[in-house]
């Protein structure tokens, strides 16, 4: 498995996805710009990475926002089209030997990211930092928001227009997933977690075991049978005190320092082969602090140290 250390002499391909159609709170489409403004490119270049900023994926706009179809899926056509474009962009980055770093945008973009990454690996592992499970379908979602469905979609569960993005399904296997930081799960998600045996570290486990032990257990679980590991980090995994600029904040999340530690441990273990940071919403933020937190976490993931 080629991780970050082996990627040092290669490029990081940054792909922005200004997607706000996977949920109903406007503003998250400015997340990629906010992270660029917070200095993500300069931060990575200072770590001696060669950065290839590919700009933003084009996102179409429906005539009317937040419209559910008869399958309880909002703005489905536009979400599908954007993720198809993203899947191609990510796939091209991987084919060039670059590390794909995707900046969101709401978490529905993980559908396209995983579609572009997973076909390059026999068994892709996924570390999913999130307050939520993102394991809903149109049948179980209370809202119809597709940003609450990307992990289920990537498992091949849900509407075929979503699960077949990239031309294949499933993208990942349940035994190769670890969810970290969960504290808000819908009933359908809880059932699916139990049915599929998905490994979840809720905030209870983080409080009880500590982040170091959680990360060691998570890494041990997700690296056993995998040949690549994708990191998907939703900024709402952090407590709203440290990341106020998110669309679906849930109190009681990980601290900024705990999350930094998690990224530092991943950097030390040199396992991550692709990543995305999502749900930064500058409209809801305080002086771009959430974007700055995201960029700080990206720095730690790519090996930044104090000394």
Q: Taking 60 as the threshold, does the pLDDT of residue 91 lie above it?
A: yes
Q: What is the pLDDT of residue 93?
A: 97
Active site residue 130: yes
Q: Can you tell me the mean pLDDT for 152-172?
A: 98
Any domain includes 129:
yes
* Torsion angle (degrees, nearest 10) of CA 235, 13, 136, 293: 0
Q: What is the C-alpha separation between 124 and 227, in angstroms, rounded? A: 6
Residue 163 belongs to what domain range?
Answer: 5-301
Q: Can you tell me the mean pLDDT for 141-163?
A: 98
pLDDT band of residue 3 (cuts 50, 70, 90) is: low
Q: What is the pLDDT of residue 5?
A: 47
Mean residue pLDDT across the chain: 95
Any domain includes 307:
no
Active site residue 285: no
pLDDT tens track for 263-303: 999 999 999 999 999 999 999 999 999 999 999 999 999 99
Number of domains the chain is built from: 1
Q: Taking 70 as the threshold, does the pLDDT of residue 175 lie above it?
A: yes
Active site residue 132: yes
Active site residue 234: yes
Which of 56, 75, 107, 285 is catalytic? The answer is 107
Active site residue 221: no
Is residue 92 within 8 Å of residue 120, measured between CB atoms?
no
Any domain includes 295:
yes
Q: What is the pLDDT of residue 7?
A: 45
Burial 87-121 (b: 16+ CB within 10 A, else e): bebbbebbeeebbbbbbbbbbbbbbbbbbbbbbeb
Q: Can you tell me the mean pLDDT for 122-149?
A: 97
Which of 29, 56, 147, 304 is catalytic? The answer is 147
Q: In whole angstroms, how far apart are CA 178 and each of 52, 173, 199, 206?
A: 29, 11, 5, 13
Any domain includes 306:
no
Q: Can you tell me the mean pLDDT for 94-102?
A: 96
pLDDT tens track for 48-75: 999 999 999 999 888 899 989 999 999 9
Q: What is the pLDDT of residue 10?
A: 73
Q: What is the C-alpha separation between 258 and 271, in angstroms, rounded? A: 19
Q: Can you tell me the mean pLDDT for 242-258?
A: 97
Is residue 172 within 8 Å of residue 154, measured between CB atoms?
yes
Which of 134, 159, 276, 285 is catalytic? The answer is 134
Any domain includes 139:
yes
Any domain includes 124:
yes
Any domain includes 11:
yes
Which of 159, 234, 239, 304 is catalytic? The answer is 234
Q: Taking 60 as the threshold, does the pLDDT of residue 12 lie above it?
A: yes
Which of 130, 189, 264, 304 is catalytic? The answer is 130
Which of 56, 78, 106, 132 is catalytic? The answer is 132
Active site residue 242: no
Active site residue 175: no
Which of 239, 279, 292, 304 is catalytic? The answer is 279
CATH number, position 57: 3.40.800.10
């Amino acid at each position: 498995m080629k991780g970050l250390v082996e990627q040092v002499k290669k490029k990081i391909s940054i792909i922005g996805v200004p997607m706000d159609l996977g949920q109903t709170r406007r503003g998250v489409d400015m997340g990629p710009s906010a992270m660029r403004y917070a200095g993500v490119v300069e931060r990575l270049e200072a770590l001696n990475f060669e950065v290839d900023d590919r700009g933003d994926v084009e996102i179409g706009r429906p005539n009317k926002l937040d419209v559910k179809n008869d399958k309880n899926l909002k703005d489905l056509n536009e979400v599908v089209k954007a993720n198809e474009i993203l899947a191609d962009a990510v796939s091209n980055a991987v084919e060039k030997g670059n590390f794909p770093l995707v900046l969101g945008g709401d978490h529905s973009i993980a559908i396209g990211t995983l579609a572009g990454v997973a076909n390059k690996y026999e068994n892709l592992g996924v570390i999913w930092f999130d307050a939520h499970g993102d394991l809903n379908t149109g049948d179980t979602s209370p809202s119809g928001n597709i940003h609450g469905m990307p992990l289920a979609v990537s498992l091949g569960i849900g509407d075929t227009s979503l699960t077949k993005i990239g031309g294949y399904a499933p993208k990942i296997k349940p035994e190769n997933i670890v969810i970290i930081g969960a504290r808000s799960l819908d009933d359908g998600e809880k059932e699916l977690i139990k049915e599929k045996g998905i490994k979840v570290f809720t905030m209870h486990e983080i409080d009880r075991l500590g982040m170091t032990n959680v990360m060691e257990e998570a890494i041990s679980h997700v690296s056993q049978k995998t040949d690549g590991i994708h990191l998907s980090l939703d900024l709402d995994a952090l407590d709203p005190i440290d990341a106020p600029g998110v669309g679906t904040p849930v109190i009681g999340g990980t601290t900024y320092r705990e999350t930094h530690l998690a990224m530092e441990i991943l950097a030390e273990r040199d396992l991550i082969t692709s990543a995305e940071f999502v749900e930064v919403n500058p409209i809801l933020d305080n002086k771009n602090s959430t974007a700055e937190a995201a960029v700080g976490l990206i720095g730690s993931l790519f090996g930044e140290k104090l000394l």
